Amino acid sequence: MVKAVVLGAAGGIGQPLALLLKANPLVTELGLFDIVNTPGVAADLSHIATPAKVEGFLPPDDGLLKALKGADVVVIPAGVPRKPGMTRDDLFKINAGIIKDLATGIAKAAPKALVLVISNPVNSTVPIVAEVFKKFGTFDPKRLFGVTTLDVVRSSTFVSEIIGDLALSKDVVVPVVGGHSGVTIVPLLSQSSHSLPSSVDGSAYDALVNRIQFGGDEVVKAKNGAGSATLSMAYAGAEFAGKVIRALNGEKGIIAPTYVNLSADAEGGAALTKELGQELAYFSSNVELGPGGITKINPLGKITEKEAELVKAAIPELVKNIETGVNFVAEAY
Ligand code: NAD
Ligand code: LMR
Pocket lining: 228 vs ligand 2, CB cutoff 6 Å: yes
Pocket lining: 303 vs ligand 2, CB cutoff 6 Å: no
pLDDT of residue 104: 98
Pocket lining: 117 vs ligand 2, CB cutoff 6 Å: no
Largest Cα–Cα distance in the chain? 60
pLDDT of residue 157: 98
Q: How many CB atoms lie within 10 A of CB 177?
A: 28
Q: In sequence order, what DSSP letters do the residues of 145-161 get, joined into one string?
A: EE--HHHHHHHHHHHHH
- Please state whether 145 falls in left (phi above 0), alpha (psi between -120 and 50) or beta: beta
**Phi, psi values for residue 49, rounded to 5°:** -80, 70
Q: What b/e string do you get for 47-60 counting C-beta neighbours within 10 Å, with b at 16 or more?
A: eeeeebebbbbbee
- Interface ipTM above 0.95: yes
Which residue type occupies 302?
A: K
Pocket lining: 229 vs ligand 2, CB cutoff 6 Å: yes
For the full predicted model, state whether its pTM sits above 0.95. yes
pLDDT of residue 43: 98
Q: How many CB atoms lie within 10 A of CB 240?
A: 23
H/E element, 195: none
Q: What is the pLDDT of residues 143-198, one digit of tens each?
A: 999 999 999 999 999 999 999 999 999 999 999 999 999 999 999 999 999 999 99
Q: What is the pLDDT of residues 234-243, one digit of tens each?
A: 999 999 999 9
DSSP state of 251: -
For ligand 1, residues with CB inside 6 Å are: 7-8, 10-14, 33-36, 77-82, 91, 95, 98, 101-102, 118-120, 122, 147, 150, 180, 227-230, 233
Q: How confident is the model at residue 333 (pLDDT cuts 50, 70, 90)?
A: confident
- Say yes or no to pLDDT of 139 above 90: yes
Lowest-pLDDT range, 129-138, 198-207, 306-315? 198-207
Please choose, from the candidates 56, 102, 59, the residue with its C-alpha nearest in 3D space to the C-alpha of residue 79.
102
pLDDT of residue 45: 98
* Cα–Cα distance, 92 to 96 (Å, whole number): 5
What dihedral do alpha carbons 244, 230, 194, 251 form, nearest 10°?
Answer: 10
In ligand 2, which atom is closest to the CA atom of 219? 3
* Cα–Cα distance, 43 to 316 (Å, whole number): 46
pLDDT of residue 146: 98
Percent of the chain with pLDDT over 90: 99
Give SS3 for 333: coil
Q: How confident is the model at residue 78 (pLDDT cuts 50, 70, 90)?
A: very high
Q: How confident is the model at residue 128 (pLDDT cuts 50, 70, 90)?
A: very high
- The mean pLDDT value for 88-100 works out to 96
- Say yes or no to pLDDT of 223 above 90: yes
Which residue type occupies 242?
A: G
Which residue type occupies 25?
A: P
